[in-house]
Structure 1
């Protein structure tokens, strides 16, 4: 089998990385990401991840997009809610969101879910989505815990993450001597989508599947459904969609 679609990898595996450094990376790439998605170049974002999330999302009063980036998906899911909130620590991404994806029903905040949840005195939201954001959080449990704190009981939580079994193969670091599927670590690499490479560094975290599941269970977001998502040009799944109900 071949996993060469993303081009030669420039990958570095690290034990961890701070949120502030990761946020600066996403500040730098925010404009490129908006262009890739709005132009249609990012097929996975537009035709795999977004439709999968929308398929699972019912109409609610109040919805939050945790790790909303430039707000492109927030604006799409806002049609399912009376009020929508987008959260992201990248100020450059939020600035784009407020310019390109503004709506009277949407409010954007340039802060992490941990910061936002700390300011909340009680649960507010009926549903939350998190598209490929949990894998950028240095503290996975804190990310999910913050998400749970702002959700009402029985609220829907939908998250997409890199498929831990196949993403290392697609990105080319499964063969790295330091790679251990059963451990969590930071992966630095030049950001790529199928139709476009870049020289801009981004970081995501590899976590084994049982870590995602146990982290969600541990904060009161037990997984009730799992879907594997592939996309055009890929034989095996690249993403996981995890659906939870707040308890």
Structure 2
């Protein structure tokens, strides 16, 4: 098992570092700013312009930051969310208790407990964790999970980088996800590598190259037509 530790990023928010792998769960330029830019601004808020009920698949639950931000935006925009996420290697309680997203986002009252609730809720069980927020997380690898066809409006593809986990960035993987998405569904990922774009195109997606967050020139938005 690869050892993991907490690291503070440039916007003051935490990420988790894989010791000895030169890899982090979030950008060291800022965990919160990265997730907000890629998955919320260019993903969730784009779908919210078209519909108020949104079904989301997240590849890589990780720190729970994407789910937390989604919940907060869903309250603000009055969205109804179904959120399905998978994670092959869940982080330990000792790590998630050190994540400072709630503090950095200045969450108060019950909102300050959202991240803890996301981590503590049972695996392998779908539940209405919050009002208008159906949530299910599964401890399983992407290669093993069965995804229902024509289900998801939005995909947060947040796997580790293609050099570390090339098996997660293949045409076959993206085709599996493509089939699970609804027409006009959006897949967002931080990667803009040529081989990733080629695999997405081969799987059937139409791509948009978008400006990246701080520290990253470009990100990828993939649309199922």
- Could you tell me the TM-score, scaled by structure 2's length? 0.60
From 136, 161, 166, give the equivalent of 1:107.
Answer: 136
Contact 2:11 2:29 in 1 (8 A): no
Q: Residues 90-129 of structure 1 correspond to what in structure 2 (within 5 A)? A: 90-92=89-91, 96=96, 100-102=116-118, 103-104=129-130, 105=133, 106-116=135-145, 119-129=146-156
From 227, 238, 242, give the equivalent of 2:210.
Answer: 227
Runs of 5+ in structure 2 lacking a partner?
A: 15-27, 98-113, 119-128
Q: Which has the higher contact order (CA 8 A, sep 6+)?
A: 1
Counterpart for residue 150 of structure 1 = 180
Alignment pair present for 1:32 and 2:26: no
Contact 1:160 1:239 in 2 (8 A): no
Structure 1 residues 138-177: Cα deviation after superposition (integer angstroms, max 9, x where no partner): 322143233223212221111112x6xxxxxxxxxxxxxx
Please, what is the CA RMSD of the aligned residues?
3.2
- Could you tell me the TM-score, scaled by structure 1's length? 0.56
User: How many residues were matched structurally?
Assistant: 166
Q: Residues 1-247 of structure 1 correspond to what in structure 2 (within 5 A)? A: 24-25=1-2, 28-29=3-4, 32=6, 40-41=13-14, 42-56=28-42, 57=44, 58-59=47-48, 60-78=53-71, 79=74, 81-92=80-91, 96=96, 100-102=116-118, 103-104=129-130, 105=133, 106-116=135-145, 119-131=146-158, 133=160, 135=162, 136-139=164-167, 140-141=169-170, 142-161=172-191, 209-223=193-207, 225-231=208-214, 237-238=215-216, 240-247=218-225
Runs of 5+ in structure 1 lacking a partner?
A: 1-23, 164-208, 232-236
Distance 1:77 1:244, change over 3 A: same
**Deviation, structure 1 residue 230:** 5.0
Q: Distance in 2 between the 1:211 and 1:158 partners?
A: 16
Contact 1:64 1:128 in 2 (8 A): yes
